[in-house]
Amino acid sequence: MVTRLAVTTSLDASDIAALRFGVAGVLLSPVLVRRGLARAQLGWLGLAAIIAGAGVPYALVASEGLRFAPAYDGSALNPGFIPLFVALIATVVLGEELSNARKLGFLLMLAGGVLIVGRHPAAWSASRSFGDALCLCAAFLWACFTVVMRQAKLDPLHAAALVSTGSLAVYLPIYVGLCGAHLAQLPLANLTVQAVFQGVCVAIVSLLFYGRAVTILGASGGAAFAALVPALSALLAVPLLSEWPGQIDWVGIVLISVGVHMASRAPLPTRRLRASGL
């Protein structure tokens, strides 16, 4: 929501990426100095996949998608489809087999996505379609990051340091050369809020929690938490952005959330209660 608000007001996708990885890269650079580039675990290709999947390329694509598409499109298609792409990559690359429940979950996710991007043909626009496509590309990038991090068994803090400091080293010189001191011209209050949210909450805190979940639950299990994002984002978009999801949007959001839950093999709350004897 904060990113969507930023890219529709004073900031663009390049500004968001500069703030996110400029702040996080500086804060996490001591971690990278101590632990190194993890080439023994990742190799150069894996390192590139880690940085691209959760670093500057992901941030640019996701932020640009939110500039063209409504927040509830982005929240359903980006985090909602990450488990789908994780499973597809794991199936093709790692040879994992899919259970019937997971296949049904993927079908529900696809159905929900089609409902969201295809609703109200009269209101269809090329810009919104472009935004939706960017959101799906962002989901694929994050899925690549998830699979590589899981296979390399990276510590979440080390992974966050690789992503943030690597993105800082690659992107910030390009940003300064192209955009100069654009961020310095923004109101200090807005700049501070975005710097804290993007650089600390998104690039460090959320990545640490996500990485820990993937470490404990596996790639698909960790991605199950994305099932909570579409509905919560749709609710927050109403007071923050005055974007009201329609009935079809709500159906699509529910289908995606249920599909992600099934595809990630997360146990239903009733099963947890029975297992605990309650």
Question: What tens digit of pLDDT does each residue of 90-109 get?
Answer: 888 777 777 788 788 888 88
Confidence bin at 47 (pLDDT 50/70/90): very high
More confident site: 168 or 186: 168
| Residue 265 pLDDT exceeds 80 | no
| Lookup result for tokens 């590139």 | 48
| Residue 53 pLDDT exceeds 80 | yes
Is residue 42 within 8 A of residue 237, CB to CB? The reply is: no
More confident site: 27 or 260: 27
pLDDT value for 237: 66
pLDDT value for 232: 66
Q: Mean pLDDT throughout 152-164? A: 92
More confident site: 90 or 50: 50
| Residue 16 pLDDT exceeds 50 | yes
Q: Mean pLDDT throughout 58-83? A: 82
| Residue 111 pLDDT exceeds 80 | yes
pTM of the model: 0.79
| Residue 166 pLDDT exceeds 80 | yes
Confidence bin at 170 (pLDDT 50/70/90): very high
| Lookup result for tokens 């249920």 | 258
CB-based contacts of 214, cutoff 8 Å, min separation 6: 146, 149, 150, 156, 221, 222, 223
| Residue 275 pLDDT exceeds 50 | no
Average pLDDT, the chain: 79
Q: Mean pLDDT throughout 58-82? A: 82
More confident site: 268 or 222: 222
Q: What single string gives the DSSP state of each residue in 10-58?
A: T--HHHHHHHHHHHHHHHHHHHHHHH---HHHHHHHHHHHHHHHHSHHH
Which of 53-57, 74-78, 243-247, 263-267 holds the top average pLDDT? 53-57
Distance in angstroms (rounded) separating the CA atoms of residues 47 and 67: 29
pLDDT value for 179: 79
| Residue 165 pLDDT exceeds 70 | yes
CA-based R_g, the chain, Å: 19
